[in-house]
Amino acid sequence: MIKIVILGSAAGGGLPQWNCGCDNCRAARGSEPSLRASRASIAMSGDGEHWFLINASPDLRQQIIDTPVLHPRALRHSPIAGVILTNGEVDAVTGLLSLREGSPFALYAHQRVQEILRANSIFNALNPEKVKRIAIETGVAFRTDAA
Protein backbone atom coordinates (compact mmCIF):
# COMPACT_ATOMS: atom_id res chain seq x y z
CA MET A 1 0.00 0.00 0.00
CA ILE A 2 1.27 3.45 -0.87
CA LYS A 3 1.24 6.02 1.88
CA ILE A 4 0.73 9.64 0.85
CA VAL A 5 1.15 12.76 2.96
CA ILE A 6 -0.04 16.12 1.67
CA LEU A 7 2.78 18.52 2.54
CA GLY A 8 1.11 21.62 1.16
CA SER A 9 -1.95 22.48 -0.87
CA ALA A 10 -1.71 26.16 -1.73
CA ALA A 11 -0.94 27.80 -5.05
CA GLY A 12 2.25 29.67 -5.82
CA GLY A 13 2.16 32.27 -3.09
CA GLY A 14 0.97 30.08 -0.27
CA LEU A 15 -1.72 31.31 2.11
CA PRO A 16 -1.26 33.96 3.24
CA GLN A 17 0.76 35.25 0.34
CA TRP A 18 3.45 37.66 1.53
CA ASN A 19 2.17 40.60 -0.51
CA CYS A 20 -1.59 40.01 -0.49
CA GLY A 21 -4.13 41.81 1.63
CA CYS A 22 -7.25 39.98 0.43
CA ASP A 23 -9.83 38.79 2.97
CA ASN A 24 -8.47 35.22 2.99
CA CYS A 25 -4.85 36.27 3.50
CA ARG A 26 -5.79 38.76 6.22
CA ALA A 27 -7.85 36.10 8.00
CA ALA A 28 -4.98 33.57 7.72
CA ARG A 29 -2.62 36.09 9.35
CA GLY A 30 -5.08 36.99 12.06
CA SER A 31 -8.29 35.42 13.29
CA GLU A 32 -8.15 32.14 11.32
CA PRO A 33 -4.61 30.71 11.35
CA SER A 34 -6.09 27.34 10.36
CA LEU A 35 -6.45 28.81 6.85
CA ARG A 36 -2.67 28.95 6.47
CA ALA A 37 -1.34 26.64 3.77
CA SER A 38 2.09 26.01 2.35
CA ARG A 39 2.75 25.48 -1.32
CA ALA A 40 1.57 22.31 -3.03
CA SER A 41 3.64 19.17 -2.62
CA ILE A 42 3.17 15.57 -1.49
CA ALA A 43 5.34 12.84 -0.02
CA MET A 44 4.72 9.20 -0.85
CA SER A 45 6.15 5.87 0.27
CA GLY A 46 5.61 2.23 -0.55
CA ASP A 47 7.21 0.95 2.67
CA GLY A 48 6.92 3.80 5.16
CA GLU A 49 10.72 4.03 5.34
CA HIS A 50 11.78 5.49 1.98
CA TRP A 51 9.85 8.58 0.95
CA PHE A 52 9.60 10.35 -2.37
CA LEU A 53 8.61 13.97 -2.72
CA ILE A 54 6.55 15.11 -5.66
CA ASN A 55 8.10 18.50 -6.33
CA ALA A 56 10.14 20.51 -3.87
CA SER A 57 8.28 23.67 -2.92
CA PRO A 58 9.91 26.78 -1.47
CA ASP A 59 8.20 25.74 1.79
CA LEU A 60 9.94 22.35 1.88
CA ARG A 61 12.11 22.99 4.94
CA GLN A 62 9.07 23.81 7.09
CA GLN A 63 7.06 21.00 5.50
CA ILE A 64 9.75 18.51 6.57
CA ILE A 65 9.76 19.95 10.10
CA ASP A 66 5.97 19.57 10.23
CA THR A 67 5.98 15.96 8.94
CA PRO A 68 7.43 13.39 11.39
CA VAL A 69 7.79 10.60 8.78
CA LEU A 70 10.31 12.84 7.01
CA HIS A 71 12.47 13.42 10.09
CA PRO A 72 16.00 11.95 10.29
CA ARG A 73 16.32 8.70 12.24
CA ALA A 74 20.03 9.12 12.92
CA LEU A 75 22.61 11.91 13.17
CA ARG A 76 23.08 12.16 9.40
CA HIS A 77 20.09 10.54 7.76
CA SER A 78 16.98 11.33 5.79
CA PRO A 79 14.07 9.09 4.87
CA ILE A 80 13.75 11.17 1.69
CA ALA A 81 15.00 8.73 -0.96
CA GLY A 82 14.03 10.80 -3.94
CA VAL A 83 12.38 13.85 -5.40
CA ILE A 84 10.24 13.56 -8.51
CA LEU A 85 9.84 16.86 -10.34
CA THR A 86 6.74 17.28 -12.48
CA ASN A 87 8.00 20.55 -13.94
CA GLY A 88 10.73 23.15 -13.69
CA GLU A 89 8.65 26.02 -12.29
CA VAL A 90 10.07 27.99 -9.39
CA ASP A 91 7.46 26.56 -6.99
CA ALA A 92 8.45 23.00 -7.93
CA VAL A 93 12.24 23.23 -7.74
CA THR A 94 13.39 25.86 -5.24
CA GLY A 95 12.87 23.52 -2.27
CA LEU A 96 15.73 21.42 -3.66
CA LEU A 97 18.06 24.02 -2.18
CA SER A 98 16.87 22.98 1.28
CA LEU A 99 18.15 19.46 0.55
CA ARG A 100 21.75 20.49 -0.11
CA GLU A 101 23.44 19.27 3.06
CA GLY A 102 25.02 16.16 1.59
CA SER A 103 22.44 13.46 2.13
CA PRO A 104 22.06 11.19 -0.88
CA PHE A 105 18.81 11.05 -2.80
CA ALA A 106 17.70 10.54 -6.38
CA LEU A 107 16.29 13.36 -8.46
CA TYR A 108 13.84 12.26 -11.14
CA ALA A 109 12.84 14.76 -13.81
CA HIS A 110 12.23 15.06 -17.53
CA GLN A 111 15.34 15.93 -19.55
CA ARG A 112 14.01 19.48 -20.12
CA VAL A 113 13.66 20.01 -16.38
CA GLN A 114 17.13 18.53 -15.85
CA GLU A 115 18.44 21.11 -18.36
CA ILE A 116 16.78 23.94 -16.40
CA LEU A 117 18.58 22.76 -13.27
CA ARG A 118 21.89 22.41 -15.14
CA ALA A 119 21.52 25.91 -16.63
CA ASN A 120 21.15 27.46 -13.18
CA SER A 121 24.41 27.09 -11.29
CA ILE A 122 22.73 27.56 -7.88
CA PHE A 123 21.51 23.97 -8.20
CA ASN A 124 25.14 22.82 -8.21
CA ALA A 125 24.67 23.12 -4.44
CA LEU A 126 23.26 19.61 -4.80
CA ASN A 127 26.42 17.54 -4.81
CA PRO A 128 26.29 15.39 -7.97
CA GLU A 129 28.13 12.61 -6.15
CA LYS A 130 25.27 12.41 -3.64
CA VAL A 131 22.28 13.48 -5.71
CA LYS A 132 21.85 11.22 -8.69
CA ARG A 133 19.88 12.91 -11.49
CA ILE A 134 17.70 10.48 -13.41
CA ALA A 135 15.87 11.48 -16.58
CA ILE A 136 12.26 10.33 -16.86
CA GLU A 137 9.92 10.55 -19.81
CA THR A 138 6.42 11.91 -20.07
CA GLY A 139 3.89 9.08 -20.23
CA VAL A 140 6.44 6.35 -19.46
CA ALA A 141 6.31 4.46 -16.16
CA PHE A 142 9.53 4.23 -14.19
CA ARG A 143 10.80 2.49 -11.08
CA THR A 144 12.61 4.13 -8.23
CA ASP A 145 15.71 2.62 -6.63
CA ALA A 146 14.05 2.28 -3.23
CA ALA A 147 10.65 0.88 -2.27
- Contacts with Zn ion by CB under 5 A lie at 20, 22, 25
C-beta of 24 vs 127, nearer to Zn ion: 24
C-beta of 16 vs 95, nearer to Zn ion: 16
Distance of closest approach, residue 24 Cβ to Zn ion, in angstroms = 5
User: What phi-psi label fits residue 48: left (phi over 0), alpha (psi between -120 and 50 degrees) or beta?
Assistant: left
50's enclosing H/E stretch is none
C-beta of 25 vs 70, nearer to Zn ion: 25
Distance of closest approach, residue 31 Cβ to Zn ion, in angstroms = 15
Which residues sit opposite 57 in a β-bridge?
none
Phi, psi at residue 26, to the nearest 5°? -65, -40
Distance of closest approach, residue 143 Cβ to Zn ion, in angstroms = 41
Euclidean distance between CA atoms 81 and 147, whole angstroms: 9
